[in-house]
Structure 1
Amino acid sequence: MDKVNLHRLQVFRTVFETLSVTEAARKLKLSQPTVSRHLALFERELELDLFDNVRGRLEPTWEAHRLYDDSNGLFERLHSVSTSVESIRRGAGESLKIVASTALCMSILPAAVGRLYHEIPDLDIQVEGGGLRSQVEALRDGTADVGVGGSMPNSTELRQTMLGRLPLVAVVPNGHALSHKTVFDLRDLEAHGSVMHNPNAPMGSLIADNLEQRGISLHRPLSSFTIPFAIGLARHTRLITVVDWLTASFFAGDDMKIIPLSKPLHVDLAMLELARKPARRSAILFRDALAEAFRNASRAFVY
């Protein structure tokens, strides 16, 4: 015998307690023949006689008494395990701390968090805004479980899930000298003022490297350390900024034109976790919800 069949063990214990196949069938909501069959199969599997029929009455054998005593508390423990599993599924006593870029916090992140909130009803969800550097620091010191924003190429300490690629676009105020363009060449920034980004952040670094490679010098640039703020600055200073299409679609508004770049540039949208930590169901469901929110935003966006 390799293992004990728990269902048949439960049948045995009920017959032992009631000393009646009929009463055991009633309590288990089974037919009498089904209870008798399970009991016979159980004795055959164990190679033990568990009951004697003495003048029409069932009498447990010594082996039956020992098996009953040894299995005491088993089903209570199984019930406790089942309760624990349900608690885990509902997220009881668990928190998921998320640090995401400001642009994502104000665009697709609310939809993803909303879905997660209903899928794991007892999960404590905490969301803060922060750039890539802040995300990595928070992951390292344990104040965050998940980071959402750009990627870190060649990092071995992070588990990175790529959710999509974000093409960069120019955002130009309506009425600007370049707002008539259907494609935008970064070289136009040599003659027109612009709002640029932190050169140490993924998007700012990508744009700065491209400008340097092409020998483009900016004309009177302003600096913005958050991407949505760059759009606000561009709006009120009548300057041009270059951001990802997702941020542009949520923040540009009808008073600004979104123009694709003539030489495409992309940044990655990624979810970050520490590689040394095991995968968590809550983080996996959040990743799936985030991917869905990104797909929905992608379908809705047109230049």
Structure 2
Amino acid sequence: MQLNLRQIEVFRAIMITGSISGAARLLSVSQPAISRLLAYTEDRLKLQLFERVRGRVQPTPEARRLFAEVDQVHRGVLRINDLAEELRERGTGSVRIVASPSVGHAMVPDAIARLRQRFPDLRVEFETLTLLEIIARVTGARADLGISVLPVDEPTIVSEVLAEGRLMVIMPPDHALTRLSTVRPADLTPYPLIGFGAQTPYGNIVMRALATGTEPVRVSTIVRFAPAACAMVRAGAGIAVVDEFVLRGHPWPEITARPLSSKTRVHAHLLTPRFEPLSRTARAFVDTLRGMVPPLPDAATATRATGA
């Protein structure tokens, strides 16, 4: 037997309220109706979902495992209803975007702002997430598209490079390294560095770029995301190496940046479902984003643009 939406709704209501009476109140139906549907569901599934203890129901381990999937289905139904409401009222719809923190700090918000000029009533859902979370959202149809500074090798996702960026050394405006036009890894060794976990993909990129020096750099503080590293530098906690994308739009006027001499490059990747077409508004967002990433400027222009 397959559960229908009504059975899923009743099962979820019992789970979140912890009782037949609570589920009845939540769904505005009678308690006998809830009890009958639950008994029918358990009988057809050949599976006990709840144990009756002192007049209350206690979920079985099987019910708890089932609830994790049921809750996802419920959220999906809510999203469908929300989208239908948007389409009925405005004819515009919505777009769900997930991004890594670097591109999510300035590039994606700028693209969203431009998109809203075309679709003033558009509903936008935007989150900055880790790479694994981005992949899960896109593959699970819980996001229309993703943008990541890290490469993705997932058969159900199409990955397209949108832009290329360099690694930049960021520092306070009065730091000694501001006298340099380009910073070598060896130039960083006298200073405490704000870095990233070496076991993370982003941390691996940065540490590989710094490994070309003759002496190891000294990582004194570890953070998870590039915007956090920028905030730490702004507070005077050290210097850091971050990707160029987090500096675009000059969002950190209190810090100065110089290019790292390493040949390592980072890329902004557009991630879309391989087997699902993009909606009209999602395609419009992609077009907007593509129009915002012109070819990289030369080193002198880039240095001025990033606060040098």
TM-score, normalised by the number of residues in structure 2? 0.61
How far apart are 1:161 and its partner, in Å?
2.3
* Other-structure match for 1:99: 98
* Other-structure match for 2:268: 269
Distance 2:261 2:92 in 1: 51
Distance 2:283 2:119 in 1: 12
Distance 1:157 1:91 in 2: 32
Distance 2:290 2:121 in 1: 22
Does the aligned pair in 2 maintain the 1:179–1:257 contact within 8 Å?
yes
> 1:121-200 counterparts in 2 under 5 A?
121-200=120-199
Which has more radius of gyration?
Answer: 1
* Other-structure match for 2:286: 287
The more displaced of 127-136 and 147-156 is 147-156
TM-score, normalised by the number of residues in structure 1? 0.61
How far apart are 1:260 and its partner, in Å?
1.1
1:250-275 Cα shifts (integer Å, max 9, x gaps): 3331x432111122321111111121
Change (3 A) 1:276 1:154: same
1:218-244 Cα shifts (integer Å, max 9, x gaps): 224211112111011123234111112
Distance 1:295 1:115 in 2: 16
Distance 1:216 1:159 in 2: 39
Change (3 A) 1:196 1:92: same
> 1:1-303 counterparts in 2 under 5 A?
92=91, 94-212=93-211, 216-249=215-248, 250-253=250-253, 255-295=254-294, 301=305, 303=308
The aligned length equals 215
1:60-80 Cα shifts (integer Å, max 9, x gaps): xxxxxxxxxxxxxxxxxxxxx
Distance 1:248 1:173 in 2: 14
Does the aligned pair in 2 maintain the 1:252–1:258 contact within 8 Å?
no
Distance 2:289 2:238 in 1: 32
Does the aligned pair in 2 maintain the 1:186–1:211 contact within 8 Å?
yes
1:86-113 Cα shifts (integer Å, max 9, x gaps): x98x983733111122333331222211
Distance 1:151 1:103 in 2: 10
Change (3 A) 1:168 1:210: closer
Does the aligned pair in 1 maintain the 2:169–2:239 contact within 8 Å?
yes
Does the aligned pair in 1 maintain the 2:150–2:268 contact within 8 Å?
yes
- Residue identity matched to 1:281: R
Distance 1:214 1:207 in 2: 13
* Other-structure match for 2:63: none
Does the aligned pair in 1 maintain the 2:103–2:149 contact within 8 Å?
no
Cα RMSD (Å)? 3.0
- Residue identity matched to 2:144: D
Does the aligned pair in 2 maintain the 1:173–1:238 contact within 8 Å?
no
Does the aligned pair in 1 maintain the 2:169–2:241 contact within 8 Å?
yes
How far apart are 1:164 and its partner, in Å?
0.4
Does the aligned pair in 2 maintain the 1:171–1:242 contact within 8 Å?
yes
Secondary structure of residue in 1 paired with 2:182: coil
- Residue identity matched to 2:95: L
Does the aligned pair in 1 maintain the 2:209–2:262 contact within 8 Å?
no
Distance 1:217 1:91 in 2: 57
Secondary structure of residue in 2 paired with 1:156: coil
Distance 2:173 2:110 in 1: 30
Change (3 A) 1:251 1:191: same
Does the aligned pair in 2 maintain the 1:132–1:201 contact within 8 Å?
no
Percent identity, please: 22
Change (3 A) 1:215 1:297: closer
Does the aligned pair in 2 maintain the 1:184–1:260 contact within 8 Å?
yes
- Residue identity matched to 1:243: V
- Residue identity matched to 2:91: A
- Residue identity matched to 1:233: M
- Residue identity matched to 1:284: R
Distance 1:94 1:145 in 2: 12
Does the aligned pair in 1 maintain the 2:233–2:255 contact within 8 Å?
no
Distance 1:137 1:200 in 2: 20
Q: Which runs of 5+ in 2 are unaligned?
A: 1-85
Does the aligned pair in 2 maintain the 1:170–1:261 contact within 8 Å?
yes
1:161-201 Cα shifts (integer Å, max 9, x gaps): 22100111111212223221111011223321111124455
Does the aligned pair in 1 maintain the 2:96–2:124 contact within 8 Å?
yes
